[in-house]
Structure 1
Amino acid sequence: MAKDAPSSHPASSNAELAQAQVSAFLAIAADAIISLDDRLRITLFNEGAATMFGYRPSEIMGQPLDILIPERMRSRHTRHVADFSASPIAARKMAERQEIFARRKDGSEFPAEASIAKQMIDGRKSYMVVLRDVTDRKLAEVALAAANTELEARVADRTRALEAEIRRREEAHAALIQAQRMEAFGQLTGGVAHDFNNLLTIITGNLELLGADPELGPKAAFLKRAADAADMGAALTKRLLTFARRRRLTPQVLDVNEMILNLTEILQRSLGEPIALTTMLAGNVGRTRADASELENAILNLAINARDAMPEGGNLVIESRNATARDAGIPGNGEFVLISVSDTGHGMSPAVLERAFEPFFTTKEPGRGTGLGLSTVYGFAEQSGGHASIESAPGRGTTVNLYLPRTEETTETKAGPAETVPLSKNSEVVLVVEDNPEVRELTLQRVEGLGYVALEAENGAAAIRILQSEDDIQVVLSDIVMAGGVSGYDVAHWVREHAPRIRVLLTTGYAAEETQPGTADVAILRKPYKRADLALALHEALQE
């Protein structure tokens, strides 16, 4: 018997050691470890649970588990435990299917993550619950979700901003291409108009010379028809030069509303009964400085185009109001007067809208339009320091916007035309400088026909040589653009420096250089001109 006693001592020590290890584990565990009996009464409550829930073990031992569960979740939790108890599964994470919450002693709730295990001891079922407070993790998840939402919002904002910038750049690029194309058209049409004006000068001048023959008889009607056709050609080149921004305009201060009202009667007669004309004129519209005749022509052109777009009738609205550079799509802070002409016609397709301002482009039937109406409006607006734009879509009508710079100046009274055509009284000597032989010959005849003595020079260099040798010249009548490298402006500069007593009168069919420094006070006679225009210009030059 004495030999058996020592053998029981190690087993007792091992059990005590194991118990001590379990107690130490329960004491240092940060999670809540709770044991329950078969009636779900608390039989074990470690230090982690006491810290987490705020109960001392002496307060909680023997209490039902429901004391640790929010009241709103107790019935559901009871069902889950019952299902787990009846299942063959020995352990389960409580939060696998849904989020759970626990309740502290002070009544506050916190999100938790729990695992539960079951076992049979002495024929009775017991449970072990390990529960972890996941408040910090949930807060982190919420913060992360909020950060993600904010990031997505920022990305969306940046994406929208990027898309807007891309659209802006595409629109700016398209506008640049359109401006370059219109500028190319302007240079082309301006050059054509220059050459055409020289031809018209020859035609109209010779017709005038022929018309002076008293023995024409019935043939005078033929000359008149030819002269009328030449005048139509001159009007056409005038419109081309307006588009090309190469024609000298005569701007004056205008009351836009007054001009529109004065045109109303003419417009109503031109439009016909099927079209209802309405004006919407703002009362505070400012004044603008523009060429009155060109503005009238622009409004008439737009109204006629609108009429043609409404063959079965419709509504035409002419509107005026103040506008800004932003409204006009122009850089800067300028202020404008806006004249809008809107119709309810068939509208334009994108392809037609893109080319609407191009000269000679038209969708009308042959013989019904020159294709210069809108292009002339565009050129007039640009040359006046403004802008023109079109808004249109198929089936939605068309609106043409004409933006002209606003001015605070008051309206002016336009001087009337001269009543007489003055002739030379003292046989003054005029030096005609022209590189086109036909134009030069015609001009010499016209000048002599007005009573002047005419000398001729085939180019600018020849003119300067003649001026150096001739003392009797009183007026130089010179073309601006000439072959040989010496322009009419060069001749004018030479005269101003070496012979200031001589007057200079310049002529051109392409007034692209009318603002050359030092020649602002030099008069310019635009081709094709009539005999009366030449007579008046020479008379005024001599009177300076």
Structure 2
Amino acid sequence: MNFSRNVLNCNEGRLPGCHAPGHGTMSLLPLLEWDEIAMDSGKSTPVADEEGFSAALERHELLYAGLDLIDQGLTVFDANLRLVAWNQAFLDLLDFPDDLARIGTPFEAFIRHNAERGEYGPGDIEQQIAERVEVARQFLPHTLERVRPDGQVLKVHGVPLPGKGFITIYTDITTQRNYERLIENENAELDRRVRERTAELEGANAGLRKAKANLDLVAADLRLSEARLRLITDTVPAFIAYIDRHLVYRFANKGYADWTGRTKDTVIGQTVETVMGDELFQTLLPHLRKAQAGQQVGYEYSRVRADGRTVYARSTLVPEIGADGQVMGFFSLSLDVTEQVLAQNALLRAQKMEAVGELAGGLAHDFNNLLTVVLGNLAALQEKHAHATALMEYVDPAIQAARRGVEVIRQLLTFSRQQPLEPQSIEVGRLVLNLTRLLRSSLPSTITITTQLPEEALYAFADPHQLENALLNLAFNARDAMPEGGQLRIEIAPQTIRETTGGERQAAPGDYVRITVHDNGCGMDGATLARAFEPFFTTKRFDGGSGLGLSMVYGFVEQSHGMVHIESALGAGTAVILCLPAGSPTPASERSPACPAICSASGELVLLVEDEAEVRKIIRMQLVDLGYAVLEADNGVEALAMIEQVEEIACVISDVVMPGGVSGWQLAERARRLRPGLHVVLISGNAQDSAAGLAAELGIDPLYKPFSKEQLALAIHPGP
């Protein structure tokens, strides 16, 4: 491989390949005489006239300008490990002084500079230099990441040129790595891992001047340089194109052509509208107009590939201004940011659902207190005036409406992942078969129900009642999507998730049972699909549903450490896929049977602790009806004083969340220390206040509002 160094007498400033401006005699970048560039069997071809030289020089300048615009460092060393070409980004990224980069500078000089300033850590400097030079002499392709002492992370990608040296590309991926760590931290909270691509390229325009001497020899060198730069730009992991003032492509690298779904030959010479299509062209046109006016423009856009997948790009348009001040065209520099956009969208959706869940949980506590008062008073009215038929015509519907309110609150708590679950190992196939029998009698006969179950039984670890409710909700949604009838299919299959991939959220790695509910109904468009899990969002009529069905399914699956997603399109039906953690065939432990009848009281003294006066009044009334004597306190401090002073107290019933600095579970713990064996019942408006977990530590079964008088009686005397 031979190297030539050509000298031009030029007073025009910076020349192609020169990395410092100057006057007088300037050295052009030595060019490789590659065998692959066929020019009269490898020999230089004279340029017959100035027009041929100008065309060759223009192509050379165009390619060099594109190379200088990328923010990745680039070097080319020959077979003797001497510098042939570089760009300014290489010096900037690695903090090399400008005077170190000269044509013919040995590779060892750069290694020595790094070693002497401690880039390779402590150790023998000469040994560090010798080892790295020896590895370079092997001319092997390599890709690695290097962390500099200041924390900067560089990706180094070396591509050998057989028998002619190698090209090395240096990419600063510090921002990318920092963002990936940020995404990983977010995924630790949201059970998902996401990845992102490199930061957008920033371009800067650089003008090149025409040279006026040694036309034949320089033109031949420019042709060789053009071929070399084409190879380099096709290696760079970015989409690079040049568009003239008439919006016609004059250059495109392989990455840009691949992004458009074409070859380079079918891009170059075509208009942007032809390549991008009319719809996308209209979206890009405002940015193109700004570039035509001489403005540098940055923007993001998306396009739909032939396989139907939407991909995203971040682009920068950098105008090229001619000597007359007119815009000659502009460079388009783009990166594929699809994974980054998907990751950001998934994160925003998860944060939105989390915020709505927190709000739902807070509202549930207040509504449960209100419903406790409403149902308690209605139940008392129903019991005392059971024979007043006319009055019961008003009372009974009110009780039913209040109970429906309790169900709405339960669904809210399920969505917000605050509903207490009782997970156990479930044989999913048996549950689905039993549910199918119920559905066949509940759904219209115009809907055909089929199941696809594995030969071997599959077990999931989840709350069976919540799973049944979730599948019922999905079945009823499918019914509503098929008003004229159709097919409902439920499939069960094992699934193993080995790692989290892509931008969409996934469950943790492990074994799962996948339950898929298919229908061939009307399906959903993209806007509806994006909001499907939002609470109270519904496309049904005002009296057709609460909008909590899919929200409840989402909350239940998330709380069960699983994953749920929907596949749907207008006119193509819907498939809802639930992945629940796999269980074992070990049968769940049997629960002790509840006391079949209300246990009677004989005037035992009960201490009732509740800060809400109306709620306290209702519970006191129920206790009196059950035959208990009642002491009342509206905070934990007052209750502790009563426990110390009144030995006759046989049971303490306390709300969990109370003012005064002493919560219900703290009261229970201190009361047990004061009076070992004292029976304590904790009541709660929701599960967010940790009543279930803390009460379990004290051996207490919490009682959740609103509750009936019978449930209260069983909580005080749970039976054998």
- TM more than 0.5: yes
Q: Which residue does 1:155 correspond to in 2?
A: 237
Once residues 165 and 381 of structure 1 are traced to their aligned partners in structure 2, the CA distance between those partners, rounded to angstroms, is 33
Q: Where in structure 2 are the equivalents of 1:215-294 lying within 5 Å?
A: 216-218=387-389, 219-284=391-456, 286-294=458-466
Cα drift, residue 436 of structure 1? 0.8
Distance 1:253-1:112 versus aligned 2 partners, 3 A rule? closer
Q: Which residue of 2 aligns with 1:399?
A: 575
Partner of 2:524 in structure 1? 348
Are the aligned partners of 1:391 and 1:398 in contact in 2 as well (CA < 8 Å)? yes
Partner of 1:189: 360
Once the two structures are TM-superposed, the CA of residue 170 in structure 1 deviates from its matched residue by 2.0
CA distance in 2 between counterparts of 1:244 and 1:453 reads 38
The secondary structure found in structure 2 opposite 1:316 is strand
Spell out the pairing of 1:472-511 with structure 2 (5 A cutoff): 472-511=648-687
Asked if 1 retains the 8 angstrom alpha-carbon contact of 2:608 and 2:631, the reply is yes
How far off its partner does 1:221 sit? 4.1
Range with bigger deviation, 255-264 or 218-227: 218-227
Structure 1 residue 139: Cα displacement: 8.7
Which residue does 1:14 correspond to in 2? none
Distance 1:506 1:344 in 2: 48
Distance 2:386 2:540 in 1: 45
Q: Per-residue deviation at 1:334? A: 2.4
Greater mean alpha carbon deviation, residues 310-319 or residues 469-478: 310-319
Root-mean-square deviation (CA), in Å? 3.2
Cα separation, 2, equivalents of 1:371 and 1:114:
76
CA distance in 2, matches of 1:272, 1:205: 38
Verify the 8 A CA contact 1:186 1:243 in the aligned structure 2. yes
Query: How many Å apart are 1:284 and its aligned residue?
Result: 4.1
Of 358, 363, 369, the match for 2:534: 358
1:531 paired residue among 692, 709, 712: 709
- Pick which of 511-520 and 491-500 moved more: 511-520
Q: What secondary structure, in the 3-state scheme, does the structure 1 residue paired with 2:535 have?
A: coil
- 1:165 to partner: Cα distance: 7.7
The 5 Å alignment of 1:62-81 reads none
Counting aligned pairs with the same residue, the percent is 41
Distance 2:508 2:362 in 1: 31
CA distance, structure 1, for counterparts of residue 556 and residue 341 of structure 2: 27
Provide the secondary structure at the position in 2 that maps to 1:456: strand
Q: Post-superposition shift, 1:168? A: 2.5
1:418 partnered with 2:594: yes
1:389 to 559, 565, 574: 565
Match of 1:296 in 2: 468
Inter-CA distance 151–532: structure 2 relative to 1 (3 Å threshold): same
Q: Distance in 1 between matches of 2:232 and 2:507?
A: 35
CA offset at residue 227 of structure 1? 2.1
Using the TM superposition, give the Cα deviation of residue 507 of structure 1 relative to its aligned residue in structure 2, in angstroms.
0.6
Equivalent of 1:514, from 687, 691, 694?
Answer: 691
> Deviation string for 1:448-499 (max 9, x for gaps)?
2222221111122221221222212121111111233321122122223333
What residue number does 1:315 align with? 487
Give the corresponding residue for 2:610: 434
Partner of 1:375: 551
Is the CA contact 1:489–1:519 (under 8 Å) kept in the aligned structure 2? Answer: no
Letter in 2 for 1:304: F
The residue type paired with residue 714 of structure 2 is: L
How has the CA–CA distance of structure 1 residues 165 and 334 changed in structure 2, closer, same or farther, with 3 Å as cutoff?
A: farther
Shift of 1:421: 2.4
Which deviates more from structure 2 when the two are superposed, residues 488-497 or residues 440-449?
488-497
**Aligned partners of 1:507 and 1:527 also within 8 Å:** yes
User: After alignment, is 159-168 or 393-402 more displaced?
Assistant: 159-168
In structure 1, the partner of 2:379 is: 208
Structure 2 counterpart SS, 1:212:
helix
8 Å contact from structure 1 (residues 285, 322) kept in 2: no
- For the residues of structure 2 that align with 1:409 and 1:256, how far apart are their CA atoms? 11
Pick closer, same or farther for the CA change 1:318–1:150 going to 2, 3 Å: farther
* Shift of residue 345, structure 1, vs aligned partner: 1.9
**In structure 2, what is the Cα distance between the partners aligned to 1:484 and 1:100?**
96
How far 1:260 moved relative to its partner? 0.8
Structure 2: any 5+ residue segments left out of the alignment? 1-37, 47-161, 165-222, 239-253, 260-310, 314-334
- Matched residue of 2:337: which SS? helix
Q: Partner of 1:273: helix, strand, or coil? A: coil
Classify the secondary structure of the residue corresponding to 2:658: coil
CA distance in 1, matches of 2:40, 2:236: 34
- Structure 1 stretch 205-214 or stretch 374-383: which is displaced more? 205-214
Q: Which runs of 5 or more structure 1 residues have no equivalent in the other structure?
A: 1-97, 102-110, 116-137
Residue matched to 2:632: 456
> In structure 2, what is the Cα distance between the partners aligned to 1:100 and 1:185?
72
* In structure 1, distance between residues paired with 2:614 and 2:40: 106
Deviates more, 1:195-204 or 1:319-328: 319-328
Relative to 1, partners in 2 of residues 1:100 and 1:367: Cα closer, same or farther, differing over 3 Å? closer
Deviation at 1:210, TM superposition (A): 2.0
Displacement of 1:114 in angstroms is 9.9
Name the SS of the counterpart of 2:660 in structure 1: coil
Deviation, structure 1 residue 426: 4.5
CA distance in 1, matches of 2:516, 2:531: 19
Taking a change above 3 Å as real, the CA distance of residues 497 and 330 of structure 1, as seen in their structure-2 partners, is farther
Contact 2:312/2:341 (8 A) holds in 1:
no
Q: Distance in 2 between matches of 1:355 and 1:227?
A: 33
Aligned letter for 2:433? L
**Counterparts of 2:440 and 2:614, CA distance in 1:** 46
Q: For 1:247, give the aligned amino acid.
A: Q
Match of 1:30 in 2: none
How far apart in 2 are the matches of 1:467 and 1:449?
23
CA 237–215 in structure 1, closer or farther in 2 if over 3 Å, else same = closer
Separation in structure 1 between the aligned mates of residue 406 and residue 40 of structure 2, nearest angstrom: 93
Shift in CA distance, 158/421, structure 1 to aligned 2, threshold 3 Å: farther
**TM-superposed deviation, 1:193:** 1.7
Whether the aligned pair in 1 keeps the contact of 2:39 and 2:45 (CA below 8 Å) is no
Q: Tell me which amino acid in the other structure corresponds to 1:229.
A: A
Q: How many residues align?
A: 414
Please report how far the alpha carbon of residue 205 of structure 1 lies from its aligned counterpart in structure 2 after TM superposition: 1.5
Q: Compare the two structures and name the one with the higher helix fraction.
A: 1
SS in 1 for 2:419: coil
Q: Which deviates further from its counterpart, 430-439 or 273-282?
A: 273-282
Question: Any conservation in 1 of the 2:695–2:701 contact (CA below 8 Å)?
Answer: no
Q: Give 1:354 deviation, angstroms.
A: 1.4
Counterpart CA distance in 2 for 1:344 and 1:391 is 12
Distance 1:167 1:527, change over 3 A: same
Measured after TM superposition, the shift of residue 147 of structure 1 is 9.7
Larger radius of gyration: 1
Equivalent residue, structure 1, for 2:244 = none
- What amino acid does structure 2 have at the position aligned with 1:410? T
Q: Which stretch of structure 1 is more off in the superposition, 439-448 or 346-355?
A: 346-355
